[in-house]
Chain A
Amino acid sequence: MHLDRLVTREFQGRHWSVPARVYAAPLELYAGAPVSAADLEEQLRLLHYRRGDPSKGPGLYRRVGNGFELHARRVRFIDELREPRIVSIHADGSSITSMRQGDGNDLPVFRLDPPVIGSVFPVHGEDRLVMAPADAPPLLRQGIKLIEDRRFDEHHGIDPLGIARAIWADLRAQRLVQGGSTLTQQLVKNYFLSDEQTLSRKVTEAVMAWRLEAHYSKEEILIAYLNEVYLGQDGARAIHGFGLASEYYFAEPLDELDAAEMALLIGLVKGPSYYDPRKHPDRAIARRNLVLRELFESHLIDAATAQRAAAAPLGLKPPSGSYVPAYVDLVRRDLKRDYAEADLAAAGLSVYTSLDPRAQAAAERALMQNLARLDARSRLRGAPLEGAVVIIEPNSGDVVGVVGGREVGSAGGFNRALDGRRPIGSLVKPAVYLTALESGRYNAATLIDDAPIELKLSDGSIWVPQNFDRELHGKVPLARALAESMNLATVRLGLDLGLPKVAETLERLGLPPPALNPSLLLGTVEATPLEVVRMYTSLANGGFRARLRAVRAVLDDQGRPLKTFKVEVESAAPSAAVYELDRMLMLVATHGTAREAAARLPRGLSFAGKTGTSSDTRDSWFAGFTGSYLSVVWVGYDDNRVTGLTGAQGALPVWADTVAALKPVSFDPVAPDPVEDRWIGFADGLETTPACSADAVVIAVPKDTTLPEDPNCNPSQPKFSQPATLGDKIKSWFKGNVH
């Protein structure tokens, strides 16, 4: 009777453990949203909307030219449960043009269903997508009984004939080889018992199956089985249930599978790894066609369907389309602070995140394409290049994409975006220059000496830093020293400011407290891509640090909000000094180490950023921001070999290709009251005009700063009244519409 209680308690309480479902942010549609008609249809397809007559029911849409009529499904958002509704949406080649409700009234804003991006499955890896009885297609119900347990509808949990057959097989093989189990027994085995094949376990299993049948209907047991059964392995993630298997193998909901696809899934029950269609396509096809023949012989499908299905290819789709394990990894870590692992893995929570699937896809594509290109170019043997990308919206701190390595689709791998802790090289320099600007003793035009320096370290050794190009540049303005990433000038500047001051700035920007070693100034400090993003958030954000936010809210299995995570901002540095620094980081893009990115970006797009290269090119970094996103890219080898790639050669192309795919807006900050824009010569730091000097660049300095003037020019002449010589930023001022 103990087993009886166990069976009822477990089965009643929670029929199966449901891992937390993780959702991306819904796509917001509004007039002017950068979503073309083609984009919209692609999004609808990804959300499993089908073409059809929308008046027939939710899930259908009709497209006429660039006009869409959509019957949106019932969908839960963080803040509302929206009932099904019909909307019409017009788009053109680049954006949404208008939207109306079903009654013809204007609709100012409308969001699509939030896409599922994964689940927080438990450590043993069980993932599933639970289906309700109504979602189980008849062919699946009939088919699974036919193949796995023909007398399911008659027996009481145990099938003596089946057992006899199994014992006969075991005797012949002199060991336990065949289960002979009913669906009920298989369910009990998966649900309550370990995997060992002993006689006593078999007895227990039989008793429990019998008790389960006594308490529950055939329908309840069948649905539980369909949700429970193991159907494949994706890295650390175990694919359980037909609902998830359908997504995993075919990227389609179960009720849209054809006979061939359904037969493949039914056939997989017998041995998901032996018949793994991705690893052993021939075995999988043979097994599928065997199932198809049985389905035909039992009149579940007709001859024509069976023949067509048997001739069909496997039709597998890559599972990475909607699953984003690297991002879900970040979500899981965020939630671990507030939730027990067991609740995340079993309590049926819904987790709503900031992920933007388009940003994620752009970053994945940019990383994979560039790594493939760089690998092909290098003749080094061994494991291929790896990389990581983190991309955020800097104002809110919303993390919109995370790529943890080149195997983007598989769970459980090493997540370089979160765990790849590497020396950040010159990415540290903006903190040195910010410290200088905040001190009030330096501005962007101040000359510093890029000259040799030797330092005696505390351990008695002598440190002799060098420039990457092994050249000396003499007296250079701060702005150029940063743009060209000069090591000697930076070390001299940092020592003048004092290491504790620089370390304090790094901490204020969100890095862990670094050791006060002079090599800190050249970036021996180690950080993960995520930590670097945190550090740069304040720079992309006018001096405000935004708390990085992957999770927006957690809802319980009834849709009630358990916790919401709000936007949080904090002043980390004075906005004026940050603006002065940002102007210098924009020179990195136009005149410095990142200027090669322009070829990959829309013409005239302005951005700010910094390249980083660790010793002997073991790590290639780029951190940069446009008006839309801040993103950090790392490229290197897992075993820390030399890559031969600078930040500009390895990470920068990945960054630029990601940005270019996202309809970027220029980084166009407004000077805060205490500072103003001025022109100086990039080489000499003297105040000049663009008409006078070919290398004139814009810097920002505190108002009323006196700059030494270029004797060959007359900077006091009006210089902002000649539109032909002005940069894009100033042109936009005159248009009077900068936002």
Chain B
Amino acid sequence: MVQGQRALIALVPALGAVGLLLAGCPSPAPRPTPPESSAPYVTPPSETPVPTLPPQRPPQPPREHHLSPATRSLVTQAHSQLSRGDVDGASLTLDRALRIEPSNPLLWTELARVRLAENDAHQAEECARKAWALAAGDLAAQTQAAHALVDALRMQGRNQDAQQIEKSMQ
């Protein structure tokens, strides 16, 4: 457990870099261009400074997202639907869960997974990006979102982008 925590802490600066990648891609359509060529917030990950909090800033609150018993039961149901190949069913079940907790990043990551199963790589990417944005301040949730994003990028053949994010997560 301690080790797990340490691993997560090690991810902090790295995930910061993923965040920059994510923030820099407001692209409405899949784009093959590497992310560093796009928007003002993009910085190549190697140059990303380790964020240190100046003493006068508010301590960034650790946010932790959980599934409620209701949405957990629906996610469990969606998983079993996926495992029997009922992708449409899983999609509808997650739709139900999102009505209950529309801004829970864990559900948006789950939705990204279902979109992957539907071979809808573009929506998978967008859902993963949204999960990432909603998970700001929650390392565990952001990590999950980043993994889904990597898979979505690979499905589109954007291996370079995917590698960049993976590298920064190692």
Q: Which residues of A contact B (CB under 8 A)?
A: 25, 28, 30-33, 78-79, 108-109, 111, 393, 395-396, 398, 438, 440, 508, 542-544, 552-553, 561, 564, 566-576, 627, 670-674, 676-677, 702-703, 715-720, 730, 733-734, 736, 738-739
Contacts and interface: CB of A to CB of B under 8 A. Distances in A.
A571 B91 contact: no
Contacts of B28: 508, 570-572
B22 to A, nearest CB: 8
A719 B99 CA distance: 39
User: How many interface residues does chain B have, given as a range?
Assistant: 35 or more
A28 B92 contact: no
Contact of A677 (B40, B58, B104): B58
A637 to B, nearest CB: 36
Interface stretch (B1-9, B130-138, B143-151, B152-160): B130-138
A395 B98 contact: yes
Given A574-B24, A576-B23, A544 B126 contact: yes
B103 A673 contact: no
Contacts of B104: 739
B89 A79 contact: yes
A392 B142 CA distance: 26
Interface of B: 16, 19-20, 22-28, 39-41, 51, 55-59, 61-66, 68-74, 88-89, 91-93, 95-96, 98-100, 102-104, 111, 123, 126-127, 129-130, 133-134, 136-137
Contacts of B23: 574-576, 672-674
A571 B27 CA distance: 6
Contacts, number: 144
A690 to B, nearest CB: 12
A670 B63 contact: yes
A25 B16 contact: no
Nearest to B53: A676
A552 B98 CA distance: 13
A571 B23 CA distance: 9
B98 A567 contact: yes
Contacts of A108: 69-70, 72-73
> Can you list the 7 inter-chain pairs with the closest CB atoms, starting with the nearest?
A30-B70, A733-B61, A673-B19, A108-B73, A720-B58, A395-B102, A79-B92
Nearest to A668: B103
B95 A30 contact: no
A78 B92 contact: yes
Nearest to B103: A395
A720 B91 CA distance: 43
A673 B136 contact: yes
Contacts of B59: 720, 733
Nearest to B102: A395
Contacts of B39: 438, 574
Contacts of B40: 438, 440, 574
Query: Which one of B27, B59, B99, B127 has the greatest number of beta carbons of chain A within 10 Å?
Result: B99
Given A109-B71, A734-B61, A736-B61, 18 more contacts: A79-B92, A109-B69, A109-B70, A109-B96, A396-B98, A508-B28, A542-B130, A543-B26, A544-B126, A561-B88, A572-B26, A572-B28, A670-B136, A672-B23, A718-B55, A730-B58, A739-B66, A739-B104
Given A28-B99, A542-B133, A569 B26 contact: no
Given A109-B74, A672-B133, A674-B41, A739 B26 contact: no
Given A78-B92, A575-B23, A25 B98 contact: no
5 contacts: A542-B133, A542-B134, A571-B28, A574-B26, A576-B41
Contacts of B136: 670-673
Given A109-B74, A542-B130, A567-B95, A674 B111 contact: no
A68 B84 CA distance: 35
A106 to B, nearest CB: 8
Contacts of B100: 28, 30, 33, 109
Contact of B19 (A572, A674, A716): A674
A24 B62 CA distance: 38
Contact of B56 (A566, A670, A717): A717
Given A672-B19, A673-B16, A575 B61 contact: no
A736 B62 contact: yes
B136 to A, nearest CB: 4
A738 B57 CA distance: 18
A576 B57 CA distance: 18
B29 to A, nearest CB: 9
Given A542-B133, A673-B16, A571 B61 contact: no
Given A571-B27, A718-B56, A739 B63 contact: yes
B26 A720 contact: no
A79 B77 CA distance: 12
B168 to A, nearest CB: 12
Nearest to A726: B58
A194 to B, nearest CB: 45
Nearest to B97: A109
A630 B100 CA distance: 16
Contact of A569 (B66, B72, B130): B130
Given A543-B26, A671-B136, A736-B62, A396 B56 contact: no
Contacts of A396: 98-99, 102
B99 A25 contact: yes
Given A395-B102, A395-B103, A720 B19 contact: no
A739 B126 CA distance: 22
Contacts of A542: 130, 133-134
Contacts of A393: 99, 102
B57 A720 contact: yes
Contact of B68 (A30, A440, A717, A738): A30
Nearest to B91: A566
Contacts of B95: 552, 566-567
B120 to A, nearest CB: 8
Contacts of B73: 108-109
A574 B55 CA distance: 28
Contacts of B96: 28, 79, 109, 111
Contacts of A738: 61, 63
